């Protein structure tokens, strides 16, 4: 437990953490996870096994693909722009659609809880 606290304090000291966006998405993930846990006993075994396999393959492909150098221009009504500065002065600017992000977070919470894989592999690979 102490080692985790030390690691977290190092991350806070050296990295930029967007607490506002993290809180928004985790608030959406939790209800999805609760519904996913409640749905586990209602799902037949064969479709469950197939879904686990498909999810594992999808996560594998996602992790192995190369990120594109092309960045989509953020604009429009539902775009939230963020600017985070690290302790060493490095600036990170990005934008995202919070409506889409919350919807995806609900789905990730549901699937990760339903399949028992944990949200870590699907939210921050």
Render pLDDT for 43-57 as a digit per residue (tens, 0 to 9).
899 988 898 889 889
Q: At what angle do helices 45-64 and 98-115 cross, to 10 degrees?
A: 130
Render pLDDT for 57-99 as a digit per residue (tens, 0 to 9).
988 888 888 776 565 555 677 888 888 888 788 888 888 889 9
- Check the CA dihedral 109-111-54-72 and report its sign: negative
Calpha distance 8→27 (Å, rounded): 20
Q: List the domain boundaries for the chain.
A: 18-62+75-118
**pTM, whole model, 2 decimals?**
0.69
Render pLDDT for 28-38 as a digit per residue (tens, 0 to 9).
999 999 999 89
């Amino acid at each position: 437990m102490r080692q985790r606290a030390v690691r977290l304090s190092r991350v806070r000291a050296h990295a930029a953490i967007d607490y506002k966006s993290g809180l928004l998405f985790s608030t959406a993930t939790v209800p999805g996870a609760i519904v996913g846990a409640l749905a586990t006993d209602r799902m037949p075994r064969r479709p469950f096994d197939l879904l686990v396999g498909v999810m594992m393959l999808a996560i594998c492909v996602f992790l192995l693909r190369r990120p594109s150098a092309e960045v989509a221009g953020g604009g429009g009504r539902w775009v939230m722009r963020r600017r985070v500065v690290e302790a060493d002065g490095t600036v990170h600017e990005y934008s995202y659609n919070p409506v889409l992000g919350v919807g995806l977070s609900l789905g990730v919470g549901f699937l990760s809880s339903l399949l028992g894989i944990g949200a870590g592999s699907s939210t921050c690979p």
